[in-house]
Amino acid sequence: MDFGTFVCSNCAGILRELSYKVKGTGVTIFSEKDINFIGQNGNDNARKIWLGKFNPKVHKLPNPKKREEVKQFIIDKYRNKKYYKKQKGNNHESDEDYSEEEEEEKPKNNNKNEKVNNKSDININKGKLNKISIKGSSNNNNNNRN
């Protein structure tokens, strides 16, 4: 869990290939530390940081059907910090990102660490990870936590 965001299964595979830590939502039990990390980061905050300098008039998003384009975009985005914009108080100002190795405690069997199945989306609500159903959507069945 390097960025505290949710990504599609294709991007998750590329991120894993590049040695980033990614958790699948279908088989993961999120610890309280995981939940807090996701709550502090999340896709909206990550977009402001990692795509803060991205200008759609100047920069091009990769074609999602072209794996090598997506991979290069991910490398530019995270390794090269091509679009990175430092935010006040952001958690990615140094290389001291969240590390699972730091997590010593095992998840407790309570609702905070509830297993989330593939047909669910994740909702962060006041530091808690909640299961919510997706109505009429098959695109989100393979979400992964990054």
pLDDT exceeds cutoff 60 at 121: no
What is the identity of the amino acid at 5? T
Give the residue carrying structure tokens 């830590």. 21
Mean pLDDT of 3-12: 93
* 3-class SS shares of the chain: helix, strand, coil, % to 5: 30, 15, 55
- Residues whose CB is less than 8 angstroms from the CB of residue 3 and which lie 6 or more positions away in sequence, other chains included: 20, 41, 46, 50, 78, 92, 97, 146
Superfamily of domain 6-145: Arf GTPase activating protein (1.10.220.150)
Contact 123, 143 (CB under 8 A): no
Read off the pLDDT of residues 49-102 as tens digits, 9 standing for 90 and up: 999 999 999 999 999 999 999 999 999 999 999 999 988 765 554 333 433 333
User: Where exactly are the structural domains of the chain?
Assistant: 6-145
